[in-house]
Amino acid sequence: MSRQPKHLAVAGATGAVGIEILKCLEQRDFPVSELTLLASARSAGKTIPFRGKEVTVKELTHDSFKGVDVALFSAGGSISKAFASHAVAAGAVVVDNSSAFRMDENVPLVVPEINPEDVKTHQGIIANPNCTTIITLMALNPMHHAFGGVKSVIASSYQAVSGSGAQGIYELEGQVQAIAKGEPLPERKVYSRQIAFNVIPQVDVFTDNGYTKEEMKMHYEGRKILHAPDLKASVTCVRVPVYRSHSVSVTAIFNDKPSVEAARAAIAAAPGVHVIDDPYADIPVFPTPLDSTDGDDCLVGRIREDLVLENALTFWVVGDQVRKGAALNAVQIAELL
């Protein structure tokens, strides 16, 4: 990475992912010459600490990007659609966390450990994939290369409330506290059902085929990231009462016959992902969401040959949704630039 300092802008700086982006920039010693923090008018004037100084948040406008080299967007798809083009016109490269540009054929969709070369094709905007897609592919990609390519995926995700932003966390906390005190539950504002002590098999709106938009993201985004146009994915996304870090149970079918030992070796040799898998220990070893929380790497366990499908392995992967699933991946893309 070039160490020439850059003028960075963060759009959505006061949100959970925006705050995590700032933490990643600090921890990874990203060379920042100037930092512009942008948010809605109601957040303008707030200050956020960065490298020992307080940085004042400014209102996001079409004129916010003069002199900016890289603009990291984490304010939602409608904001990205409204403002990303203005950032590009001002000379910035946009790294966008929303779904606004992911399937645009002119916008690379990048996980730096998997397809870093795609960054070179950008025309001003680079898209950050869906969090569940990132976490799943971090485990799947080494096996994809080891076993002649992945043909199809069947997966169920167990997604933390952090995926809904800070309001999802507040709703879970409020319900847990109310139940503990024997009080009525507060009004639901985020989820269609009670999330405390419950699971909700819907993370997004339903499409015509019965899958949700979230579930279809792995199907389409996986094809683009892995350069595997024939990949098929059948996914069920579930919201669970976990504050942070997503988990995914995956069955992957490959062109060549896989083995558990070769899969472990392939994952162990890959960056950003680790095997934690010893089912026969006195206390069986496997990763949980808490093990990955606040960590950069995705963790893989429960690797086993599938008993139903040929040339298939089943495994479990966890990763911090706010970090590798969003903020860290965006900062890593900025590093590639």
List 24, 131, 237, 298, catalytic entry: 131
Q: How far is CA 306 from the centre of its chain?
A: 27
Spell 178-199 as b/e; 16+ CB within 10 A means b: eeeeeeeeeeeebbeeebbeee
Here the tokens at position 138 are 């971090």
Listed in sequence order, the residues at least 6 apart from 301 whose beta carbon sits closer than 8 Å to its beta carbon are: 275, 276, 277, 285, 286, 287, 315, 316
Here the tokens at position 118 are 């795609």
Alpha-carbon span 264 to 268, nearest angstrom: 6
Alpha-carbon span 128 to 73, nearest angstrom: 10
Task: Write a three-state SS string for 268-297.
Answer: HCCCCEEECCECCCCCCECCCHHHHCCCCC
Find out whether 147 and 255 touch, Cβ atoms under 8 Å. Answer: yes
Q: How far is CA 70 from the centre of its chain?
A: 19
Here the tokens at position 309 are 């499908």
31: burial class by Cβ within 10 Å (0-12, 13-18, 19+)?
middle
List 7, 144, 246, 274, catalytic entry: 246
Listed in sequence order, the residues at least 6 apart from 166 whose beta carbon sits closer than 8 Å to its beta carbon are: 15, 16
Spell 258-271 as b/e; 16+ CB within 10 A means b: beeebbbebbeebe
131 is catalytic: yes
Q: What is the chain's percent helix, strand, coil content, to nearest 5?
A: 30, 25, 40
State the catalytic residues.
131, 246
